[in-house]
A and B are shown apart, each in its own frame.
Chain A
């Protein structure tokens, strides 16, 4: 079996190599990949410079203006994620930090990004179909398939040979272009990738090969179920449009219709309603409480009420004097204050619980909608590959969430450090009058934000299910091609 298989692989490989589509594929891959990587590397350098400038602005602000009073030192803390290390390959998803800016850049909305994901999902998937749609039909039309099968070559061997030889000829331009691109990245002094980054590149490449192979097998499958190359081509392109252009983009919108959730603004409006309702309840309970005390203490309570319950500074002294003079008055005031504190605490707890439930409900619905959207889109190999690629390289939603958690942790550590320094300074100058603007703080040793990527193990764990689905597509399409070819009429 091996000799005929090797011969078929070599034949398929050479046949494709001498074809116009290989030349076109090679030119396209090279042109786009190399141009993309060079331009994105340049962008990455600019973003790194930009990010450093923002960090320096923060340091400058802290050194000039950090003080015990006045503007909070947290105002200038850079909250944006540093540029992803895979930015030269894949453009990350923007965070929410500048969405409220009037000057947000709208250009990126009108045209999709051109990066490695585009090259694999659009260019390579299309090329894969182009290489494979007539793998069987063309040979049948030329009459060579009949000749091959009339010898002692099994159909399985032929199919396997076509897949391996064809896929190899398809992947050659892609791998060559990628090699040149990766070389450019390696030679760039601004891009320092460590061992784990290269491991991620390797995994990304493996995922890309899985994705491209799935489309090659799809084309092969369609070819084994069609009688002519023209019909096979139309069917392939129809499926490509569905799987690449339609299903992934429609998924989020369908999920938004099936699992409706209120917008954040709508939830904020409900939040205000809850707060208003809680406030009215508190007012009502306070009235009842006052009535209760009036009924119990009579004249004493009226006296206390006339002094505004000691809430104002002037009246507080009078209340203290009366309490010192009259033990009954004192007992009433203590009981009143204790009950009021308990009432206040109850009210706050009730409000917090109601608000917590409201936001938890929104978050739960949002998570359900996102899960549904992800599941619907996962029917397309493109969506699966996008999830895998973005999770592995830290350029996706998971990475944004991870950064948000890291940022929270950093703000906690930074806040703790600043409180410590403030406490020391206040203790040192406790006997001196505080100058206007407060005592200056020396925050030179403050903790710096050093964002470390999520461990590869965790990223892989998140990516594996979708990678598994991609693998499943390969198996299904190969099984379909096998079934089609076994029944194929070669005459």
Chain B
């Protein structure tokens, strides 16, 4: 019985206009996004090769997974060096001079999935029950010996399968295209990460599909389901992640970067001016060391507060599956906040040890992105479980709601 319901659901979806629109949208956007981001990766790779050939102080190559989830890749691939006053600065000069990039969002696969496909998932499911009720076919289906549990499970499986298949095929095609490119070298770790990224995408989309189905089981008209679904989507995808960040900033006060940089500069310059008026070298040395210690303390304080802000922000925004998925996907791709923090720590350590040493045989900066196992161990698994939990919650709620649904 379950198999026939699933088959019926898949067939009726395949022949529907909705399926055609969603397939065209998901396939076109997935492939276009992968192509565009692959070209963008090519430019980043060229920039890296220029810097690596010049023996820049500390720079890492872009990861091929940034094609799928760009995240903080631009920040990660900057060249770091020591500037005046032993200050570590990051060169922004590999970035594009086209200022229009600042106005709009990066159209990587992560964006396509978390914003566009999540909407598509909800639109696929919002009238699966309420629409059938309006058409009168739900009453007919249940008037026989068909149980409600089997019907709703069959609807979920059949509906989700017909929704996810075009996206999955498009993503697979995109991955094959990327793997065939000579500029892209993906190792076994990268493939494992990509696999996990696609798996978490499927679970993320299942969350919104289940939510759409739940809303359909809680309303009696498809127009009402639509309105409520769009409201829920706007709330989960845009509002909660953003408001969460804003709320975190109100709870943890962190000075701006401009303030930090100016105060550091003020300490350094004040010390330099005072040092000129001191009579002998030991006193000057003490004053300079005092200034450096003040700067280090200020920077340490800023970085600790910022780390607390990031942790609090992540904890608050995880209430939204979109935020949990964003953190998971960027961590898996090696372009997340944790990776950025780890890289900065490695850069600080390397440059502090190297100092102004210009010897040609000094060890070059080398950095390995976090392994998959460590990513999962340090919060990745937690985000994954949050998505699974949302899924189970919405599926359970749908089940209960449908059992009590008035089909007349």
Contacts and interface: CB of A to CB of B under 8 A. Distances in A.
Q: Do A and B come from one complex?
A: yes
A64 B344 contact: no
30 contacts: A42-B250, A50-B259, A64-B270, A99-B90, A101-B89, A103-B299, A103-B303, A107-B309, A111-B242, A126-B234, A130-B227, A130-B230, A234-B21, A241-B25, A241-B116, A250-B36, A251-B100, A252-B98, A254-B36, A256-B96, A256-B98, A257-B36, A263-B50, A263-B93, A263-B94, A264-B94, A266-B47, A268-B93, A369-B98, A370-B100
Nearest to B84: A75
Interface stretch (B104-112, B155-163, B352-360, B396-404): B104-112
Contact of B88 (A32, A102, A246, A264): A102
Interface in A77-127: 78, 80, 93-94, 96-107, 109-114, 118, 122-123, 126
A155 interface: no
Contacts of A104: 75, 90, 257
A335 interface: no
A113 B131 CA distance: 36
Interface stretch (B179-187, B190-198, B260-268): B260-268
B89 A102 contact: yes
B302 interface: yes
Contacts of A383: 104
A267 to B, nearest CB: 9
A255 to B, nearest CB: 7
A104 B88 CA distance: 12
A39 B243 CA distance: 9
A183 B235 CA distance: 25
Interface stretch (A20-28, A186-194, A299-307): A20-28
Contacts, number: 251
Interface in B272-313: 272-273, 276-277, 299, 302-303, 306, 309-310, 313
B29 interface: yes
A242 to B, nearest CB: 8
Contacts of A362: 97
A207 interface: no
Interface residues of B, number: 100
B111 A249 contact: yes
B234 A93 contact: no
A46 B104 CA distance: 26
Contacts of A235: 21
A61 B266 contact: yes
A50 B326 CA distance: 31
Given A28-B234, A97-B258, A110 B100 contact: no
A229 B226 CA distance: 11
Contacts of A374: 100
B100 A106 contact: no
A187 to B, nearest CB: 20
A397 B99 contact: yes
B90 A101 contact: yes
B54 to A, nearest CB: 7
The DSSP consensus for interface residues of chain A is helix
Interface of A: 20-21, 24, 27-28, 32, 35, 39, 42-43, 47, 50, 53-54, 57, 60-61, 64-65, 67, 70-71, 75-76, 78, 80, 93-94, 96-107, 109-114, 118, 122-123, 126, 130, 134, 138, 229-231, 233-235, 237-238, 241, 245-246, 248-257, 261, 263-266, 268-269, 362, 366, 369-370, 373-374, 377, 383, 386, 390, 396-397, 400, 436-437
Q: Is the interface of B mostly helix, strand, loop or mixed?
A: helix
A214 B111 CA distance: 25
Contact of B242 (A109, A113, A268): A113
A238 B21 contact: yes
Contacts of A106: 72, 75, 337, 340
Contact of B273 (A64, A250, A254): A64
Contact of A54 (B37, B72, B103, B259): B259
B349 interface: no
A252 B116 contact: no
Contact of A237 (B105, B123, B260): B123
Nearest to B42: A257
Contacts of B310: 107
A441 to B, nearest CB: 13
Nearest to B103: A386
Contacts of A377: 100, 104
B261 A98 contact: yes
A249 B223 contact: no
Interface in B194-232: 222-224, 226-228, 230-231
A114 B242 contact: yes
B243 A114 contact: yes
Contacts of B266: 57, 60-61, 76
A269 B46 CA distance: 13
B258 A98 contact: yes
A123 B340 CA distance: 32
A57 B255 CA distance: 15
A383 B131 CA distance: 35
Contacts of A50: 255-256, 258-259
B324 to A, nearest CB: 12
B330 interface: yes
A70 B273 contact: yes
B92 interface: yes
B238 A122 contact: yes
B123 A54 contact: no
Given A113-B242, A362-B97, 18 more contacts: A24-B231, A50-B255, A50-B256, A64-B273, A71-B269, A99-B92, A103-B261, A109-B74, A111-B323, A134-B223, A234-B123, A245-B116, A252-B101, A256-B43, A256-B98, A266-B46, A366-B98, A397-B100
B258 A436 contact: no
Q: Which of A47, A65, A252, A255 has the most CB of B within 10 A?
A: A252
B348 to A, nearest CB: 8
Interface string B8-29: 0000000001100100010001
Nearest to B87: A102
B259 to A, nearest CB: 5
A373 B255 contact: no
A47 B97 CA distance: 27
A93 B102 contact: yes
